[in-house]
Amino acid sequence: MLHPAAVEFIERLSLLAESAGIPRIGGCILGLLVMEESPLSSDELVSRLQVSKGSVSANIRLLESRGVVRRISHLGDRKDRFEVDASFPERMIERSLAEQRSMRLVAMEARSRLPSRYVRAKDALRRIEAFSTISVESMERMLTKWRESAHEDEAAATVHEDVAVS
């Protein structure tokens, strides 16, 4: 049984995911996997979320392709299980970064290819380029920061394990 706070989180996450272009069921799967402590099989996802098998498998594929969810298979277990990919926050940042980078590229290409009579359009494209450059730079700095903090966490976890072993 999920705690009410967990249920609320899953519901709100799925609405949020929808506004970012991930179907609501995909958001529910992600939320459930964040809340569950062990990996879930697709049958379990079907019965927990009360949705069709087809919908679960389509959404799992989407989440896998975005590097958000990871498939694990165990010897002797015929069912694949799924868990949140540990590097999923990094994937999310990289995705936004890629979006901004392609925005810059698309504007740059259009500006250089448009004939000179498109004076005002070229000017608008130059603004888009400048804007995306600022976003890209800011996100690159943030990604570095995130990677550093992830390393610190790993280092801290290693120390804990060492203590536990000794």
Interface residues with other proteins (CB under 8 A) are: 3-6, 8-9, 12-13, 16, 18-21, 34-37, 84, 89, 92-93, 96, 99, 102-103, 106-107, 109-110, 113-115, 118, 120-121, 123-125, 127-128, 130-131, 134-135, 137-139, 141-142, 145-146, 149, 153
Shortest distance, position 57 Cβ to other proteins, whole Å:
18
Pick between residue 47 and residue 102 the one whose CB is nearest to other proteins.
102
Shortest distance, position 78 Cβ to other proteins, whole Å:
26
- Residues forming beta bridges with residue 81, ordered by sequence position: 41, 72
Shortest distance, position 37 Cβ to other proteins, whole Å:
5
Phi, psi of 72 (to 5 degrees): -125, 135
Q: How many CA atoms does the CB half-sphere of 73 hold within 13 Å?
A: 5
Shortest distance, position 63 Cβ to other proteins, whole Å:
15
Pick between residue 52 and residue 102 the one whose CB is nearest to other proteins.
102
Distance CA 116, CA 48 (A): 59
Pick between residue 72 and residue 142 the one whose CB is nearest to other proteins.
142
Cβ neighbours around 83 below 10 Å, total: 16
Q: What is the dihedral of CA 78, 83, 86, 87, to 10 degrees?
A: 90
Distance CA 111, CA 129 (A): 9
